[in-house]
Chains A and B, each alone.
Chain A
Amino acid sequence: MPKYSLRINNSQYTVEVKEGTSLLWILREHLGLTGTKFGCGVAQCGACTIHVDGAPMRACILSIDGVTDGQQITTIEGLSKNNDHPLQEAWAEAQVPQCGYCQSGQIMQAAALLKDNPNPSREEITAHMNGNLCRCGTYMRIMKAIQMAADGPLSLNQKR
């Protein structure tokens, strides 16, 4: 089986897998980065959302052959060092998660939005987040948390 070299969360990894293997299985089952979740396998739920060079992607439909060594992969484990990304703090502040299974993907999807658009409107948030399913129905709080994080750390502290 071929060997692949991957740059994930600023660390270098090597895996030996069959051509065409899904990046999701490599992250989760080969490398133990289990914060990225398996939900549907067909890019319909967003539970496996990661960043490739900063862009939100669904790991389940990314083949290992489509990712080059030079590309930077970021998973939820690499989003912040101490669970202190403004979105993570807002998520805790707004008490967003219930079962929590989809939330890594939600946060990664939202992080990509705020990077490009620091002050998204409600409509922009909805359009950007619409591909991420939450069966517990935490959408109202996801919306609120993204708005809180967008308002900045000062506003987050004031709301505490």
Chain B
Amino acid sequence: MDRRQFLGTSSGIALFIGTGGILSSLVSCQDTSAIKGDLPKHDITAWVRLSTDGIITIYNPAAEMGQGSMTALPLIFAEEMDADWDKVRVEFSPQVPEIYGSSGWGANRKGMLTAGSRSVKGYYKDLRIAGAQARAILMQSVAKKWEVPLTELETVPSMVIHEKSKRKIAYGEILSFLEAPETMPAINAEDLKDPKDFRLIGQDIPRYDIPAKTDGSAQFAIDIRLPNMLYGVFERGSLHGAQPTLNNEATILGLAGVIKVVKIDYAIGIIAETIEQALAAKQQLDITWSEAQASGLNSQELYKSYAKVASSNKTGKLITQKGNFKNAFQKAAKTYQADFKNDYIYHAQMEPLNSVVQVAEDGQSAEVWVGSQQGFIPKMGVPRALGIDPENVKVNLQYLGGGLGRRSLVDYVEECAWLAKEVAPNPVKLMWTREDDLRYGAFRPISLQRLQACTDAEGNITGLAHYVIGDGDNLVASGIRNEFYNIPNQHAEIRVVPQGIRLKHWRAVGHGPNKFAIECLIDEIASDHGKDPVALRKSLMENSPRALATLEKAAEIAKWEEPLAEGRAKGVAFLERSGTLSTGICEISLDRSTGKIKVHHFWSASDAGVVIQPDNVKAQMEGGIIMGMSSVLKEQITIKDGHVQQSNFHDYSILRMEDVPETIETAIIPSAEAPQGVGESGTPLVACAIANAFYSLTGKKLRHLPFTPERVLAALNA
């Protein structure tokens, strides 16, 4: 590959080393003329920038929304570059998917999308190679300068050494004679470190972003303030898809500080001089809303119609088919059928949606400040909203005050572009209130799962069928497969019923509801045959040793076999999410008068392949389990006559400190396999583990999420 191809390539292994930014980096290259002509044609920077004082700046291509990519991804690069981590600084990479996109989204689809727990998994190989290339370039320059064979050189952190002549040189000092090679060094598998030699990967390196997150200096998009900045708000109503008619535009325009009223298809926007003026004006809006597809919808009545869809002969979209379920079901010694339900839930990321956009006076370029999971829509829809080329939009990615799937939509960025266009060149900060964020949320869909299963006379599960009825297409399909259970006949199908409610991926997506159904039915079958739930799962995992290892480890640390105190019970669940295999076990008690479930302990064991930061994996599991408990015990969005009924944290409860377990213990199975995603592995374990513990404790079945005290009491009395 020559440099020209390299510059234009999508391989994402670009490297320029220099004293400053992109152009000044060329100064230290010997033959700068060759690339000076090329560079302006390609909006390209590098994975790394090295300065003479030895500071190594590594670009992080992923959003940082709490999951730790700001540390984990640069750490992978630094490992192979053999960089001294104390000298590493991390910056967000520019928004150039051709260079910085992950190849983890499939062939011909490089994307800068931080979702599906795919960051480490998707970048691991590319960043190792890129880091190794950086190291090789430094070593090549030193070999030439010292006139020694390359093979005699080695590196220690941030230093090239030549043992024979006892010479050594710091990376920063190499800059004065650095030669950028004509072609990027080829890196083969044997050129990468043996995992047993890792110095950074697998160690508990503190997270890069944490110091700024303890003194208030970490910058989120909502913290951006620019000269002459104006404030924007929208009223979007509580009936998704309804169109507004504004009845008092003149009044609104006459209010203090109001600069413009902006009408869009689904909302009325206000631009004002201050946030308090914008919010005060929003209160005064008199809007008549049209009907919409969701008009008249009552969420809690949907289950009846969904059950009918489940019973009908009309088939939906086939997700998986193995063996012949119908045949197995007909011939089985014993058959089972159960319906499981889950209400809509909301992301509730702590930072309400917001963004800042500044459009140039001529309308031909723009700058954006945003916390976004990004995605495949170029520059988060701003070029599309303004009718300009993506090249003319500069994105300044900020920390995300939570993503959880919600920040992979671009509505809150496009909206700001529409406002900023009206008042160019003044920048506009668009703020969603919590009420806006919740009512006009994009929820995890409501759904009904009908499961059928069958066993032979010994209680071996011979067939499992899973029908999901709900909205959101593949949002309800994730987690429906059972690749780690040896069940010979399987059928899984989704039947989609569009409701007109806004929907989006919510941490672990369909895994929450679907694994809940599958794992609960397995316990019901185990109980029916007098089998222990862990023992039955062990037999199902006979062909899946890695899955089995998580089950055995979790059972070990949870002391599954030991007797429990009076009034306590344990429940188990296993699942695969984003490649990570996890088993979770919880211990609960129950207040039979109030219906309140108390989770006392939660244990988990995960196989995530190579783990970059073990303590961060534990943090993700802990947080994921807490969020899972929150959704399972508390969270519920209801729709009445088409309108979202909740509006803020007083009527949409999320878990508080009073409800956390006494302990959460997380085990990581050592592995040299490719890394997998951990961010979503803990959350979907919770519903099934709690319901199974409840079943063990009471003999009663919890089959409708969330397990509110009312539903728990109803189950107890059933």
B402 within 8 A of A: yes
- Contact B214–A88 (Cβ < 8 Å): yes
Bound Cα distance A38, B624 (Å): 23
Type the 1/0 row for B435-453, where 1 means its CB is closer than 8 Å to any CB of A.
1000000000000000000
Query: Which interface residue of B615, B624, B655 has the most chain A CB atoms within 10 A?
Result: B655
A47 within 8 A of B: yes
* Residues of B contacting A41 in the complex (Cβ-Cβ under 8 angstroms): 433-435, 648
* Residues of A contacting B213 in the complex (Cβ-Cβ under 8 angstroms): 97, 100, 103
- B208: shortest Cβ distance to chain A, in Å? 11
B-facing residues in A12-49 (Cβ within 8 Å): 17-18, 21-22, 25, 28-30, 32-42, 44-45, 47
- Contact A34–B627 (Cβ < 8 Å): no
* Residues of A contacting B276 in the complex (Cβ-Cβ under 8 angstroms): 17-18, 21-22, 25
With contacts A100-B399, A133-B350 taken as known, whether A77 is within 8 angstroms of B216 at the C-beta atoms is: yes
Bound Cα distance A18, B661 (Å): 45
Bound Cα distance A67, B21 (Å): 47
B622 within 8 A of A: yes
- B513: shortest Cβ distance to chain A, in Å? 19
* Residues of B contacting A40 in the complex (Cβ-Cβ under 8 angstroms): 434, 648-649
- Contact B351–A101 (Cβ < 8 Å): yes
Bound Cα distance A17, B654 (Å): 34
- Contact B350–A95 (Cβ < 8 Å): no
- Contact A103–B214 (Cβ < 8 Å): yes
Bound Cα distance A47, B348 (Å): 13
- A23: shortest Cβ distance to chain B, in Å? 11
Bound Cα distance A18, B256 (Å): 10
Within the complex, which residue of A33, A103, A129 is in contact with B657, where a contact is CB–CB below 8 Å? A129
B-facing residues in A86-135 (Cβ within 8 Å): 88, 91-92, 95-104, 107, 125-127, 129-135
- A2: shortest Cβ distance to chain B, in Å? 13
B164 within 8 A of A: no
A80 within 8 A of B: yes
B487 within 8 A of A: no
B478 within 8 A of A: no
- Contact B626–A39 (Cβ < 8 Å): no
B218 within 8 A of A: yes
B656 within 8 A of A: yes
Within the complex, which residue of A21, A25, A34 is in contact with B216, where a contact is CB–CB below 8 Å? A34
Within the complex, which residue of B207, B231, B656 is in contact with A133, where a contact is CB–CB below 8 Å? B656
Known: A98-B620, A143-B660. 10 other contacts (CB 8 A): A17-B274, A22-B276, A29-B274, A38-B352, A42-B649, A92-B211, A100-B210, A101-B351, A130-B657, A138-B619
Question: Which B residues lie at the A interface, using CB under 8 A?
Answer: 65-68, 206-207, 209-220, 222-223, 225, 231, 256, 274-277, 348-352, 399-404, 431, 433-435, 615-616, 619-620, 622-627, 630, 648-650, 654-658, 660-661, 664
Question: Which A residues lie at the B interface, using CB under 8 A?
Answer: 17-18, 21-22, 25, 28-30, 32-42, 44-45, 47, 75-77, 79-80, 83, 88, 91-92, 95-104, 107, 125-127, 129-143
Q: Can you name 27 A-B pairs with beta carbons within 8 Å?
A: A30-B274, A34-B216, A34-B219, A39-B350, A42-B649, A44-B650, A47-B350, A75-B216, A77-B215, A83-B211, A96-B214, A97-B214, A98-B68, A98-B623, A99-B403, A100-B213, A100-B218, A107-B214, A126-B658, A130-B657, A132-B657, A133-B654, A135-B350, A136-B402, A137-B623, A138-B626, A140-B660
